Amino acid sequence: MSHLVAPSLLSANFLNLGEDIEMLNRSEADWIHLDIMDGVFVPNISFGFPVIEKIALKARKPLDVHLMIIDPDRYIDRFRENKAEIITVHSETCPHLHRTIDFIKKSGAKAGVALNPHSPVALLTNIIRDLDLVLLMSVNPGFGGQKFIGETYEKILELEELIARKNTKTLVEVDGGVDLTNASRLIENGANVLVTGNAVFTSPSPIETIHRLKNLQ
Ligand code: DX5
Ligand code: ZN
């Protein structure tokens, strides 16, 4: 499978969100990544349902929802009502992760778990078979435009090893500081989905940057 590109709307122009979503619809982006932050789990608040409902009306690509919120179970159904196709929760926010994943899958969405930079891959040993996706944070969650953490390269390899050992088809998504300088190595190590915020939206031609990210070997 060739890798997928999932631009994050966190770096979009919120005064012209409709235009940015149209641009993503026209682009080679595979998914649209939505970063939902509650100001509790992470030190920032992004956007909530009034905005998400409008995004869902306009987006023509699958919505890849990254929940940086405590007690995510409360909102799974509402995200599904707003066309979320992939729902990812943080391991660090879920004391009963197995139950939460089950809940997401029963809602009909694909289920993902995100790991903060310091959280070891081994946390997922006994749940990896149930996961459609693992999101490796390559920055500390909360903000776009941060510097990529180099340790992530090795972490992808460790995760690939676990996926192979357990014989699952779990996708590996990398999120944070991804750009044209590190994307090839991430793909080489086994990343299947690249999330990119700043690298896409601050570039002179976001469509061209998505094209280049998509066509890396
Ligand atoms: C950070 C978010 C990321 C972020 C990516 O908490 O999860 O999705 O927006 O943005 P860049 O690519 O700018 O790091
Ligand atoms: Zn994200």
Region of 205 (left: φ > 0; alpha: ψ -120 to 50; beta: rest) is beta
What burial letters (b/e) apply to 187-197, b meaning 16+ CB within 10 Å? bebbbbbbbbb
Q: Around 19, how many Cα atoms within 13 Å sit in the side-chain half-sphere? A: 7
The pLDDT of residue 126: 98
Helix (H) or strand (E) holding 67: strand 63-68
What is the model's pLDDT at position 96? 98
User: Which residue reads 């066309």 in tokens?
Assistant: 83
Domains recognised in the chain with CATH numbers: 4-214 (3.20.20.70)
The whole-number pLDDT of residue 178 equals 98
pTM: 0.98
- Cα Rg of the chain (Å, integer): 16
Q: Among residues 35, 38, 64, 132, which one is catalytic? A: 35
The pLDDT-based confidence of 1 (bands split at 50, 70, 90) is confident
Is residue 20 among the annotated active site residues? no
Tell me what pLDDT residue 198 has. Answer: 98
- Sign of the dihedral through C-alpha 128, 130, 135, 137: negative
Task: Give the per-residue pLDDT at 9.
Answer: 98
Q: pLDDT by residue (tens digit) across 8-52?
A: 999 999 999 999 999 999 999 999 999 999 999 999 999 999 999
Percent pLDDT > 90 in the chain is 99
Residue type, 21: I
What atom in ligand 1 is closest to the CA of residue 177? 14
Which residues line ligand 1 at a C-beta cut-off of 6 Å?
8, 10-11, 33, 35, 66, 139, 141-142, 144-146, 175-178, 195-199
CA of 65 to the centre of ligand 2 (A): 8
* Statement: residue 54 has pLDDT above 80: yes
End-to-end CA distance of the chain: 12
Task: List pLDDT tens digits, range 137-192.
Answer: 999 999 999 999 999 999 999 999 999 999 999 999 999 999 999 999 999 999 99
Q: Active site includes 30?
A: no
Average pLDDT, the chain: 98
Tell me the CA–centroid distance for residue 114 and ligand 2, in Å: 9
- Specify the pLDDT at position 181: 98
Walk across the sheet containing 84-90 and list its strands.
4-7, 193-196, 171-175, 133-137, 110-115, 84-90, 63-68, 32-37
Helix (H) or strand (E) holding 93: none
